[in-house]
Structure 1
């Protein structure tokens, strides 16, 4: 099996690469996909892509790294041939930045996905795994979304991901390309760029700083350890049905206030370190994925409970200042 991983130097993509090459990020449970004979990472190395994320596997002879943009048709045409599977993580993903400037999100998430899909068709790729997000559904007051729920994105980021999902599925229906789509809940874990809420809060607290809490703190998210997410993606890569969508969730819903309480406790800090801030525009109130389909069809279940996962994540950031301090100093481009 020869696998191309787009965005493989980012937070989730690099976990997938480390997992497939034998360096699990959070759990030693078996990887539900055969060992790759070769694995190529294609990554533009924007601010959230980092070669240091691949350091644990950089000497693996199966690994090849290519720096480049998924929107670059000529480059993609050079890289794609010779692979059996494309696992597509590459995306612009920060909601706040999409609100202040949507163009990069549409370009990368929609046009970049289309460029990859066209190359997959031209070069006979046997499976295309498109990794997406629960944010494409908008917000849900009660219950949980199933995979056939109508898409109703509320931010430019989630709208661009919804567009890429529909494009990917259309290539299956129109061209017969073997496409599967995954949609995940909020990820956390090691190597996550410190603009996201968990590493932002942890690194600020470790430095003695404050943390921002949007609005009333009542927004609800389901939390998924990145290793469990990647296990789910591997299951879908291996045995998912072509043309189908699969949800991957963590099974623990918390309000932002409850998450903040847990992170404060884990870092030995009090509520005096929390600064209320004006709520985000169009802030979705609650996300919740039904994971019955992937559980019943493929045997998925989250293996890392939130208490353990958050404790290990805080410990990782405490022990790896050399990784995150330069990123916080530089910030986004």
Structure 2
């Protein structure tokens, strides 16, 4: 593989993956990104122009997608509408991007016989009880609970159908919650970090009991590339770093990093349909492909993320006020 097409490569997880490719491989990268509010040219601006090219466009644009796929050795599909709160107030764009967009890409890779990797989420499985000893596996039944997770579940099913019906050379990964640099301030961890930088207490939905299985975006990137280079066609791999933390624990970690009382936070109204717990069993990825996360200490990874947001205020400050205004309208 010498040329990789990355959809959504100017967004949070996508740009971290592009950076991983630049650091760890010799491939050329074309990024196809719509440059919605959650992505930015700045996330790629410092990368070498002879290695990374940005094409601004929509994954539902059949002509544009077809031309780009025809020149690629592999398509890595990160592009998605992904914010649960937004899917509750405006679900249509989630159907259009996550389902129709994935269909458009699948048809293009089918025409040109190009390797395809589909990046999905653990949210397609619904949630687990706090005391459930089990974790999600590749065989867990789908049970999405929001328009976002339902649209991602639908896109997963499309990929599997195209593998079986049309012999498309594809793999799927379902990953747990990511954290790290370049994440939009509407998301949980960067929202709390930027609130603390501005001198305000962090916010917690409800009692803060909801548990997420956190993984650093760098580890997600290395896992995706490992699946692309060594995974078995038609298989699904779950990506996780054994990083279960409740929202309350995350906020307490952050308060400590800012030398504040761990319990100095504001409780806000809970989100509708808020999943209780996600937990990933990544045994297949680790045993079959030999992958392991580098950022296994969540507190250390969180500290590095705080440092990044302190050093990149010019990147997030222009959108912070508007983000908080939107949350205020929702009572959050």
Q: TM-score, normalised by structure 1?
A: 0.93
Q: Which residue of 2 aligns with 1:246?
A: 237
The Cα of 1:280 is off from its aligned counterpart by: 1.0
Q: Which residue of 2 aligns with 1:163?
A: 154
What does 1:121-200 align with in structure 2 at a 5 Å threshold?
A: 121-125=110-114, 127-141=115-129, 142=132, 143-200=134-191
* Consecutive unaligned residues in structure 1, runs of 5 or more: 23-30
Matches of 1:307 and 1:213 in 2, distance apart? 18
The Cα of 1:211 is off from its aligned counterpart by: 2.3
Matches of 1:236 and 1:245 in 2, distance apart? 9
Q: Which residue of 2 aligns with 1:100?
A: 89
Q: Is 2:19 aligned against 1:18?
A: yes
Matches of 2:299 and 2:201 in 1, distance apart? 22
Q: CA RMSD in A?
A: 1.4
What does 1:82-121 align with in structure 2 at a 5 Å threshold?
A: 82-121=71-110
Number of equivalent positions: 320
Cα distance per residue 1:152-210 (max 9 Å; x no partner): 00011000000000101111001000110001111000110000111000001110123
Residues 209 and 273, structure 1, Cα contact 8 Å, conserved in 2: no
Matches of 1:134 and 1:148 in 2, distance apart? 12
Cα distance per residue 1:255-308 (max 9 Å; x no partner): 111111001111223357411112111111110111000000111111112121
Matches of 1:211 and 1:329 in 2, distance apart? 15
Q: TM-score, normalised by structure 2?
A: 0.94
Residues 14 and 78, structure 2, Cα contact 8 Å, conserved in 1: yes
Deviation >2 Å, runs of 4+? 268-273, 329-333
* Consecutive unaligned residues in structure 2, runs of 5 or more: 327-332
Residues 253 and 262, structure 2, Cα contact 8 Å, conserved in 1: no
